[in-house]
Amino acid sequence: DAGVHSKAWFAATCDRKTAEDALYRSNKDGSFLVRNSSGQDSRQPYTLVVFYNRRVYNIPIRFIEATRQYALGREKNGEERFDSVAEIVENHQHTSLVLIDSQNNTKDSTKLKYIVRVS
């Protein structure tokens, strides 16, 4: 258990479209939630969904079997690893999260500020 089920920001049964719609409605930079990944893959169990600059970013949360830790996005050298998904969220409430727009090849960053609840 990644320590997500008791958290206000965890939207367990929420699909991608529902999460995105909820974040667009919030319309606040730094709004976020964590949902189960669409693929239900043990190596990528969750997705961090963040709203920034009128866009929604779906960032995969990877589970690293060898170290039993979690990391964001694609695997990269020197990446930050965390012991739980809750640690990822807590960390990025204080330090900026880099948001990469693969379509426009731009980078932004924001902190996780507002928990969005999916109704």
Q: CATH no. for residue 18?
A: 3.30.505.10
Regions in the chain scoring below 50 on pLDDT: none
User: Residue 93 is part of which domain span?
Assistant: 10-115
Rounded Cα–Cα distance for residues 3 and 24 (Å): 26
CA distances from 10 to 72, 97, 115 (A): 16, 18, 9
Distance linking the first and last C-alpha atoms of the chain: 24
Has residue 43 been placed in a domain? yes
Q: What is the pTM of this model?
A: 0.93
Query: What is the predicted pLDDT for the residue at 105?
Result: 86
Query: What is the predicted pLDDT for the residue at 5?
Result: 84
Given the DSSP bridges, would you call strands 114-115 and 106-110 parallel, antiparallel or unpaired?
unpaired
Query: What is the predicted pLDDT for the residue at 1?
Result: 53
Mean confidence (pLDDT) of the chain = 92
Token pair 């969220």: residue:
89
Structure tokens that stand for 109 in this block: 């960053």
Asked if 34 and 47 touch (Cβ cutoff 8 Å), the reply is yes
Rounded Cα–Cα distance for residues 25 and 44 (Å): 26
Query: What is the predicted pLDDT for the residue at 118?
Result: 87
Has residue 2 been placed in a domain? no
Has residue 1 been placed in a domain? no
What is the total count of domains within the chain? Answer: 1
Query: What is the predicted pLDDT for the residue at 40?
Result: 66
